[in-house]
Amino acid sequence: MTEQKEKFTHRVGRFFKEIRMEMKKVIWPTKEQLINNTLLVLAACFFIGIVVWIADAGLGLLYTAVFGQ
């Protein structure tokens, strides 16, 4: 039973060591890049929301024209 625990603790230790090594490889964005990317995502969400809203309104008018309700 203790041998299994030792193997488990060794695997856990290796897991966290590998996480630390991988985090050193990450290239974090600069503040300017982060702000630009955030603004781009917000603009894209807004644009897609407008497109969906227009499509919903148009299909609603079409539904009303076809079924007369």
Domain ranges across the chain: 2-67
Buried b (16+ CB within 10 A) or exposed e, 22-32: eeeeeeeeeee
**Cβ pair 37, 29 in contact under 8 A:** yes
9-21: pLDDT as tens digits: 888 999 999 999 9
Q: With cut-offs at 50, 70 and 90, classify the pLDDT of residue 7.
A: confident
Taking the whole predicted model, whether its pTM rises above 0.75 is answered as no
And the tokens for 28? Answer: 């974090």
Q: Extract the tokens encoding 2.
A: 């203790």
Eight-state DSSP code of residue 68: -
